[in-house]
Structure 1
């Protein structure tokens, strides 16, 4: 399984892509209290997008992106395999959840919009699974903490 992370500078055109509203469902997970240092090279007030692409059987299966401005996950499914694409996330202040993309490979990207603390940090990974609470079929590694506030 190949895993790729790309940090992209958010531009005005990205805000239009984030405004799309296809089926993506937010779910709350267990809370955890985790404290870590802010990653080097990322400003607390940076406006950026961090994306993770999940691969299964050597091909891209889906993608999840976190946008620091607006606290949003934009999700997309690349394979018609019946699996959903999920962004699992948790913050450094004890909040966690999942963004489920269930529209399928032929649909537009979906967005989960959260109201996270602007002074916090979030860590996420992208997974594929069969159903809302089944075990992950595959998952990327965790992103590492990045600032939320944009």
Structure 2
């Protein structure tokens, strides 16, 4: 597991901007019912339209949606200004509730962030049928990092 985390950090720059970064938190998204509106704090990977990741500070939910019916996994990579960082991944396939609209899907990772701190997110994808998605070099199509948002 430690080797996987090291590989993930080194190969796709999953390091936190904080000087004393903690270990990468890796979570698989679970069902939350309906997502928040895309008007929340979101990072969209627009071309190719592969994934969306959102942060809802009301509940500290990292939400992830798969925008393509291509058997790839979607993930939201996040980092805080106090050194926490992680990836929230959905393996549930294409989320029709997200694609083509600003509505959102139904998968999220419930995290507990320190109040008053800041978070950034970005969205990407990995071909889980062909690669081990717990290795960072297998992820691609990352969106740009979002602006910082206060938790």
Q: Unmatched 5+ residue regions in structure 2?
A: 1-13, 20-38, 97-104, 128-132
Name the structure 1 match of 2:120. 123
Aligned-pair CA distance for 1:56: 4.0
Distance 1:97 1:134, change over 3 A: closer
Change (3 A) 1:143 1:31: closer
TM-score, scaled relative to structure 2: 0.61
2:111 pairs with one of 100, 111, 114: 114
SS at match of 2:50: strand
Unaligned 5+ runs, structure 1:
1-28, 35-47
Query: Paired residue for 1:137, among 125, 135, 140?
Result: 140
Q: Compute the displacement of 1:55 (Å).
A: 3.0
User: How many angstroms apart in 2 are the aligned matches of 1:125 and 1:62?
Assistant: 9
The count of corresponding residues between Structure 1 and Structure 2 is 106
Name the structure where helix makes up a greater proportion of residues. 2
Q: 1:52 is matched with which residue?
A: 43
Q: Deviation digits for residues 93-117 of structure 1, max 9, x if unmatched?
A: 1111110011000575201110110
Bigger strand fraction: 1
Q: Structure 2 matches for 1:17-28, cutoff 5 A?
A: none
Deviations 1:26-79 (A, max 9, x none): xxx766526xxxxxxxxxxxxx8211221344xx22211111111111211121
Match of 1:92 among 49, 61, 81: 81
Show structure 1 runs of 4+ deviating over 4 A.
Answer: 29-32
2:18 is the alignment partner of 1:33:
yes
- Aligned-residue Cα RMSD (Å) equals 2.4
1:62 aligns with 2:51: yes
